[in-house]
């Protein structure tokens, strides 16, 4: 059974804007994407629709789109299979009088629009050759957007035209005036910055301006995505029920990239039920405090009179990567396990002081602190190394969440899976071992792709294996891959 327009979610908020200056953009959840130029307004519409179809294919469901162009505005439903439905379309007042016959129906039922060229119009018969036919009850538009206007010169004149009154003639002759609120002398189209990378960037620096390559444009789009500021705090949970699945490096890398590019206050929180390893892989501050100390001081930290800088007493700042770390309890004699209530308290404190919270986790999906973490999560991330048991543990983690239904199931369906190449094969550095490692990573990535929102592959990098993790220590290809991963995560906000 097909999806009716009323069943299509309005999330994410998508707008397609076509301007009469030959530019267009598609805005997805506040993120603007420039539409490739076209030779006509209709070609710009088609290019915009191609971007929206790609978004629908990424989400694997129809999306609702608000359209605005020089000829009017309305709403479409865009399906992943390239089918377009027109929910509404309202021509601008000036065009409505010139192009739409007065006998047109006041409302038109939503029409299914196939993305095929409109058939050539048949010759219009004269009144002497044939009698006028009744208009169809629900006309179907075969153009993707907007519904095709009926030109005034193709409409047969009525058999007995009524005499036009002087008042009506005066009304039609009067010029249409627009409000000054509807115009602006500012240039709204963004200026494309010249290339900075590769041979194009070299030529630009030598004085010959070159447009950026497709690869550089994609990188710019990823940077713009991770640089956004969202209303209200966002919480990311990094989960896998198997140890050694790259959870802690994933937490560090996502925190570093989001903090570096967005400038938003970001904290990485080790939500292990007992003792985690995030503190071992990051820079230590001038104190030994952990999440238990923050919970004990929560009343003071939540007081309206407390200064924002007081949080520094409990977190460990990463001087190069610009984020803070809240460590788990590292007391060797301690046996305290974090409870669900304590997770609530710590989360309340952190979301007062930080815009982004990235949570590391333990290996027990049944633990109280693990389950409460999921309740606070906006975006789920599942890291996995290209080893069968890690991949199977990741699958079971997603399956557990999906079986719980509701918020947990939605997180699983919207998850981002990050597949890192195995370190074991890389150590030999033989050509055959490298190929096996890449093939296995691709096989695992392909296996997850149909069940989650995005899958990103990360190449092997020795800087992620042991010791403190630093973004600048990574190889350029690894940095670029992690930027792609962070952009995929941020797109889910």
238 domain residue, yes or no: yes
d(CA 25, CA 188): 11
Query: Are 292 and 387 contained in the same domain?
Result: yes
Per-residue model confidence (pLDDT) at position 55? 87
| Closest listed residue to residue 104, CA positions, set 127, 146, 136 | 136
Quickly state the pLDDT bin for 428 (edges 50, 70, 90): low
Give bridge partners of residue 484 from the DSSP assignment: none
Q: Tens digits of per-residue pLDDT, 58-84?
A: 888 998 999 998 888 888 898 999 888
Instruction: List the domain range (segments joined by +) for residue 104.
Output: 5-123+138-156
Q: Do both 357 and 450 map to the same domain?
A: yes
pLDDT at 431: 72
Give yes or no: residues 96 and 226 share one domain: no
Strand runs (DSSP E) across 152-207, as ranges?
none
Residue 194 lies in a domain: no
| 166 pLDDT tier (thresholds 50, 70, 90) | low
With 50 as the cut, is the pLDDT of residue 151 above it? Answer: no
Q: What confidence score (pLDDT) does residue 150 get?
A: 43
- Rounded to whole angstroms, what are the CA distances from 468 to 37, 130, 268, 278, 418? 46, 85, 14, 9, 20
What per-residue confidence (pLDDT) applies to 437? 82
Residue 383 β-bridge partners: 418
- Residues 142 and 264 reside in one and the same domain: no
151 close to 99: Cβ distance less than 8 angstroms: yes
Average pLDDT of 379-398? 95
Query: Residue 45: what pLDDT?
Result: 86
* 203 occurs within a structural domain: no
- Reply yes or no on whether the pLDDT at 408 is more than 90: yes
Do 454 and 348 reside in the same domain of the chain?
yes
Q: What is the pLDDT of residues 261-302, one digit of tens each?
A: 999 999 999 999 878 899 999 999 999 999 999 999 999 999
Please tell me whether residues 393 and 286 are part of one structural domain: yes
Residue 209 in any domain: the answer is no
What angle (nearest 5°) sits at the alpha carbon of residue 128, between those of residues 124 and 130? 60
Query: For 333-357, how does the pLDDT look when each residue is reduced to its tens digit (9 = 90+)?
Result: 667 889 999 999 999 999 999 999 9
Report the CATH number that the domain containing residue 378 is assigned in CATH.
Answer: 3.40.50.300
For the chain, the average pLDDT equals 83
Q: What percent of the chain has pLDDT over 90?
A: 51
- Distance between alpha carbon 415 and the CA centroid of its chain, in Å? 12
Greater pLDDT, 414 or 164: 414
- In this predicted structure, the answer to whether residue 3 has a pLDDT above a threshold of 80 is no
Q: In this prediction, what percent of the chain has a pLDDT beyond 70?
A: 79
What tens digit of pLDDT does each residue of 21-49 get?
Answer: 888 899 988 788 888 887 778 888 888 88
In this prediction, residue 152 carries a pLDDT of 43
- The burial of 311, by beta-carbon neighbours within 10 Å (0-12 exposed, 13-18 middle, 19 or more buried), is given as buried
Co-location of 142 and 260 in the same domain: no
Query: Is the pLDDT assigned to residue 199 strictly greater than 90?
Result: no
Domain contains 65: yes
360 C-beta neighbours (distance < 10 Å), count: 28
pLDDT in tens, 301-319: 999 999 999 999 999 999 9
DSSP assignments along 137-160, one per residue: SS----SSSSPPP--GGGSPPPSS
- Looking at the fold, whether 324 and 443 belong to one and the same domain comes out as yes
Which of 4-8, 328-332, 470-474 has the least mean pLDDT? 4-8
Evaluate whether residue 249 is within a structural domain: yes
pLDDT band at 178 (very low <50, low <70, confident <90, very high): confident
User: In sequence order, which ranges of 357-387 are alpha helices (DSSP H)?
Assistant: 368-376
Considering the domain architecture, whether residues 142 and 238 belong to the same structural domain is answered as: no
The predicted-structure confidence for 225-239, as pLDDT tens digits, reads as follows 999 999 999 999 999
Query: Does a structural domain hold residue 256?
Result: yes
Reported pTM = 0.64
Q: What is the pLDDT at residue 160?
A: 56
- DSSP structure string for 388-457: HHHHHHHHHHHHHHHHH-HHHHHHHHT-EEEEEPPHHHHHH--HHHHHHHHHHHHHHHHHHGGGSSEEEE
Residue 450 lies in a domain: yes
How many domains does one find in the chain?
2
Whole-number pLDDT of residue 87: 82
Distance, CA of 309 to CA of 438 (rounded, Å): 45
The reply to whether 236 and 97 lie within a common domain is no
CA 289 distance to own-chain centroid: 36
């Amino acid at each position: 059974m097909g999806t009716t327009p009323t069943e299509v979610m309005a999330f994410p908020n998508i707008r397609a804007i076509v301007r009469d200056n030959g530019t267009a953009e598609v805005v997805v959840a506040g993120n603007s994407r420039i539409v490739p130029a076209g030779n006509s307004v209709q070609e710009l519409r088609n290019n915009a629709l191609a971007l929206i179809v790609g978004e629908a294919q990424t989400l694997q469901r129809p999306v609702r789109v608000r359209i605005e162009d020089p000829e009017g505005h309305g709403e479409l439903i865009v399906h992943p299979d390239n089918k377009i439905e027109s929910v509404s379309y309202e021509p601008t007042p000036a065009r409505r009088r010139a192009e739409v016959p007065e006998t047109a129906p006041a409302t038109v039922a939503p029409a299914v629009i196939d993305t095929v060229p409109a058939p050539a119009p048949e010759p219009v018969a004269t009144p002497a050759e044939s009698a006028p036919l009744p208009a169809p009850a629900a006309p179907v538009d075969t153009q993707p957007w907007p519904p095709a206007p009926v030109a005034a010169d193709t409409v047969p004149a009525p058999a007995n035209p009524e005499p036009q009154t002087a008042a009506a003639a005066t009304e039609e002759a009067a010029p249409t005036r627009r409000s000054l609120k509807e115009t602006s002398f500012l240039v709204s189209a963004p200026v494309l910055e010249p290339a900075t990378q590769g041979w194009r960037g070299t030529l630009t620096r030598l004085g010959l301006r070159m447009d950026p390559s497709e690869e550089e444009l994609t990188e710019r789009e990823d940077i713009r995505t991770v640089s956004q500021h969202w209303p209200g705090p966002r919480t990311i949970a990094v989960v896998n029920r198997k140890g050694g699945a790259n959870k802690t490096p994933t937490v560090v890398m996502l925190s570093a990239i989001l903090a570096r590019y967005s400038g938003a206050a970001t904290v990485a929180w080790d939500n292990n039920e007992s003792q985690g390893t995030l503190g071992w892989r990051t820079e230590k501050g001038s104190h030994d405090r952990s999440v238990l100390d923050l919970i004990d001081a929560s009343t003071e930290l939540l007081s309206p009179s407390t200064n924002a800088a007081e949080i520094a007493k409990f977190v460990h700042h990463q001087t190069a990567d610009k984020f803070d770390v809240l460590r788990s309890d590292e007391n060797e004699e301690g046996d305290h396990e974090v409870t669900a209530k304590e997770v609530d308290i710590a989360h309340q404190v952190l979301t007062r002081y930080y815009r982004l919270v990235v949570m590391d986790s333990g290996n027990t999906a049944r633990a109280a602190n693990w389950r409460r973490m999921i309740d606070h999560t906006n975006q789920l991330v599942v890291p996995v190394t290209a080893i069968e048991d890690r991949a199977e543990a990741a699958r079971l983690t997603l399956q557990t969440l999906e079986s719980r239904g509701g918020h947990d199931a939605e997180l699983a369906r919207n998850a981002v899976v990050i597949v890192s190449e195995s370190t074991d094969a890389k150590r030999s550095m033989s050509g055959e071992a490298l190929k096996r490692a890449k093939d296995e990573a691709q096989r695992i990535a392909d296996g997850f792709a149909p069940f989650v929102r995005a899958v990103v592959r990360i190449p092997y990098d020795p800087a992620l294996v042991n010791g403190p993790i630093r973004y600048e220590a990574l190889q350029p290809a690894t940095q670029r891959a992690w930027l792609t991963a962070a952009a995929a995560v941020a797109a889910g906000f």
